[in-house]
């Protein structure tokens, strides 16, 4: 519709304008992992095996760096690609919010994604985080669209899911979630759904164990620098399976990640984070409860729960990135709740005005 097209144009333009402004002010940033991504890109261009540890796990991002370098666009080309992915994520969030809570909810979810500096600052880094933050809502939108429309929409969803999985290993989580969602929305019998779903769950458990072993196994010593380069931080401690599944530590890791306050944050940053989360979290819970019967709401909840499960069995990161991987989906819930509360308030006001006449 005309209103949707107009909203999409303004939101897309706003996303691009803000990110280009930040680029002009701050410039391209590097994190401590940038060196190994660039080394892996050089390996790809030279046709040799990856020298960096676990280089193949991030082969999608390494390939992007290699293609940009070969095309002569260099680091700036990758940043521009991340900006364009952020625009697509903005448009996807608008449509997710529109389906869950109406057009205004879509605008609110997308607009907050654009102006949230905690998210926007990662688009300036030569790291996998920006693309992954953008790809999660894009993948959620594509998966739901495939279930609604079928046919070629599955091809698009599969392509997005595959690319997301190659950017960060966390992305592999989205594939079994998508398959279970599609099975649940299919016309198959209940017994067939249960059998296929059980198989997918078993594959998911095995894949999660493999992911944890590859990503967090092996001895690590020394110290690493925070992604914003502010101060040295210790490497994540290598944990046994018993330590990972410790019933005391798992909820603490999740709680720490959800608070989002990190040692590297300034006092002003901490105040801003608490103020934002004090609004978003309650609204997100209300939005989830109100829309819990909708398949889309359940899909978003599964993606959020899956990312929190990864934090629970691994660790809460040092700079708040893991929350941002799914935070945009919480914005969809929160926006739909805000619109619902606003409508209810307006209805009560109208009813009160009518009764006083």
DSSP letter for each residue of 29-54: B--TTHHHHHHHHHHHHHT----STT
Position 36 in a domain: no
Residue bearing tokens 């502010």: 230
pTM above 0.75, yes or no: yes
Q: Structural domain tally of the chain? A: 1
Other CB atoms within 10 A of residue 218 CB: 10
Question: 167 Cβ partners below 8 Å, 6+ apart?
Answer: 58, 60, 61, 128, 131, 132, 135
Position 67 in a domain: no
CA atoms of 185 and 181, how far apart (whole Å): 6
Position 59 in a domain: no
pLDDT, residue 191, reads 67
Position 255 in a domain: yes
CA atoms of 82 and 19, how far apart (whole Å): 10
Burial degree of 285 (CB within 10 A; 0-12, 13-18, 19+)? middle
Q: What is the CA radius of gyration of the chain?
A: 21
What is the token pair recorded at 22? 């930040």
3-state secondary structure of 232: strand
Is the Cβ–Cβ distance between 159 and 178 less than 8 Å?
no
Per-residue model confidence as pLDDT tens digits over 71-86: 999 999 999 999 999 9
Residue numbers of the domain that contains 311: 2-30+73-355
Position 189 in a domain: yes
Using CA of residue 348, residue 349, residue 351, residue 356, what is the dihedral sign? positive
Choose among 334, 327, 337: nearest CA to 89: 327
Position 46 in a domain: no
What is the token pair recorded at 279? 């609004």
The segments of the chain whose pLDDT lies below 50 read 217-237
CA atoms within 13 A on the CB side of 22: 23
Position 39 in a domain: no
Position 267 in a domain: yes
């Amino acid at each position: 519709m005309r209103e949707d097209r107009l909203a999409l144009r303004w939101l897309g333009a706003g996303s691009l304008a803000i990110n280009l402004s930040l680029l002009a002010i701050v410039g391209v940033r590097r994190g401590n992992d940038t060196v190994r991504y660039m080394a892996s890109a050089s390996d790809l261009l030279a046709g040799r095996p990856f020298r960096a540890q676990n280089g193949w796990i991030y082969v999608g991002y390494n390939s992007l760096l290699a293609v940009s370098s070969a095309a002569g666009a260099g680091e700036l080309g990758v940043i521009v690609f991340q900006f364009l992915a952020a625009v697509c994520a903005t448009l996807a969030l608008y449509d997710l919010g529109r389906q869950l809570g109406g057009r205004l909810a879509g605008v609110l979810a997308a607009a907050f994604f654009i102006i949230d500096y905690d998210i926007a600052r990662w688009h300036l880094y030569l790291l996998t985080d920006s693309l992954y933050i953008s790809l999660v809502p894009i993948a959620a939108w594509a998966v739901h669209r495939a279930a609604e429309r079928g046919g070629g929409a599955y091809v698009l969803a599969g392509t997005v899911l595959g690319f997301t999985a190659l950017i960060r290993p966390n992305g592999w989580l989205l594939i079994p979630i998508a398959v279970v969602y599609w099975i649940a929305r299919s016309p198959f019998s209940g017994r067939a759904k249960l059998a296929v779903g059980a198989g997918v769950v078993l594959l998911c458990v095995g894949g999660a164990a493999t992911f944890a072993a590859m990503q967090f196994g092996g001895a690590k010593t020394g110290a690493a620098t925070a992604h914003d380069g502010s101060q040295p931080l210790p490497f994540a401690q290598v944990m046994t399976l018993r330590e990972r599944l410790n019933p005391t530590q798992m909820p603490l890791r999740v709680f720490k990640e959800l608070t989002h306050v990190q040692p590297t944050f300034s006092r002003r940053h901490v105040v801003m984070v608490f103020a934002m989360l004090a609004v978003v979290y309650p609204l997100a819970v209300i939005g989830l409860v109100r829309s819990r019967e909708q398949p889309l709401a359940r899909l978003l909840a599964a993606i959020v729960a899956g990312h929190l499960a990864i934090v629970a069995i691994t660790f809460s990161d040092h700079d708040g990135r893991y929350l941002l991987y799914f935070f945009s989906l919480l914005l969809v819930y929160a926006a739909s709740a805000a619109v619902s509360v606003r409508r209810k308030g307006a209805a009560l006001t109208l009813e009160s005005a009518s009764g006083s006449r």
